[in-house]
Amino acid sequence: MNIGEIAKRAGVSRSTVSYALSGKRAVSAATRRRILQVIDDVGYRPNASARALAEGRTRAIGLVIPPAGRRLTPIQLGFVADVVAAAGRRELDVLLSPSGGEHDRSFERMVRGRRVDGVILMEVRLRDARAARLRESGVPFVAIGHTADAATGYWVDLDYQGLVASCVRHLADLGHREIALINRPRELLDSGYGPARRALDGFEAAAAARSLSATASCCPDEAAAGETFIEDLLAARPGVTGLVTINEAALPGIERALRRLGRAVPRHISVTGVVGRHWAEEFHPPLTAADVPITDMAERAVELLAERLAEPGTPPRNVLLAPPISLRSSTAPPP
């Protein structure tokens, strides 16, 4: 069932069918009605490949996710679903591609094979090989997180620096004097992963500004690691009364360790940070924290990409999101 068949049944030429569907040229009301009727009867849909070939665009975007090996955090996973939903609203399909290691072929297929019109690149590093590849291939892309040369690209990011600084000031305002940052894994920080880097910067700057005694360390993305992290931390610095975390995967372990060590939240120790809403609410007691607005980020990323596709050549745009800190019940003045 192709456009020729529709044309035949409606008694018009193929081009007329195309125009009736796209509206790019006028078609008389009677003819259009007849054509639409036939289309509806037989359930016709233009062949996506043929259309893509003729139009020179695929109406699909690529979403490059971190490789499957490394567990995706719930934030990232929710983000994928939200991107698909946002793209769907704009009649765009989403092609998924892992990146890194053995998956580079998939990335190359997508990019060089012109399978997609543009790409959303998740979890970008300050220096990022994939971003460089896209740039040199001339494929429009929007990064989640920003690269070292932030000014030249399109990106959406969270203001981790500002948010973590707000958390620190919140603790300082409550009277805390000795605090600690629970960062993402060391390898992410070392490889120049923006959020880890900037969280650290924001933490140190804000702590220094308020003259707090502060330590920052990394913790693997796992509950078990969170548990030992807390044990080690409180053994080394028993005076810590405020915790700031951007590591949501470690939260269940943090909660367990604090409970086991008899440190009640928030009576003995306050906990805050930047984590997905879901995780903030599952913590006991619910975390006072900046909720990562994944749905918002997904929507903005797709919006930026759609805009860039529609009007190539416009100067790069970017979005830095700074959601408010949701007051729940995990912070209080120190004992």
Partner DNA sequence: GCCTGCGGTCGAATCGATTCGAAGCATCGC
Partner DNA sequence: GCGATGCTTCGAATCGATTCGACCGCAGGC
Do strands 325-326 and 288-292 pair parallel, antiparallel, or not at all (unpaired)?
A: antiparallel
| Residues 161-190 interacting with a second copy (rule: CB under 8 A) | none
User: Mask: binding to a second copy, 281-320, rule CB under 8 A, as x and -?
Assistant: -x-x------------------------------------
CA gap 130, 137 in Å, rounded:
10
DSSP codes of every residue in 251-263? HHHHHHHHHHTT-
Residue whose entry in the numeric block shows the structure tokens 């009867």: 41
3-state class (DSSP) for residue 74:
helix
What are the structure tokens assigned to 155, written together?
Answer: 């990106």
For residue 64, the minimal CB distance to DNA (Å) is: 22
Residue whose entry in the numeric block shows the structure tokens 């920052």: 216
Let me know if 126 is exposed, middle or buried by CB neighbors in 10 A (0-12, 13-18, 19+): middle
Q: Does 135 bind a second copy (CB under 8 A)?
A: no
For residue 241, the minimal CB distance to a second copy (Å) is: 24
CA gap 128, 168 in Å, rounded:
30
For residue 271, the minimal CB distance to a second copy (Å) is: 16
Q: Does 129 bind a second copy (CB under 8 A)?
A: no
User: Mask: binding to a second copy, 202-231, rule CB under 8 A, as x and -?
Assistant: ---------------------xx-------
Q: Which of 69, 54, 70, 65 is closest to 22 using CA atoms?
A: 54
Looking at the Cβ atoms of 89 and 186, the one nearer to a second copy is: 89
Q: Does 78 bind a second copy (CB under 8 A)?
A: yes
| Interacting residue ranges for a second copy, rule: CB under 8 A | 43-50, 52-53, 58, 60, 63, 65, 67-68, 71-72, 74, 77-78, 80-82, 84-85, 88, 91, 93-98, 102-103, 105-106, 108-110, 112-115, 223-224, 252, 256, 278, 282, 284
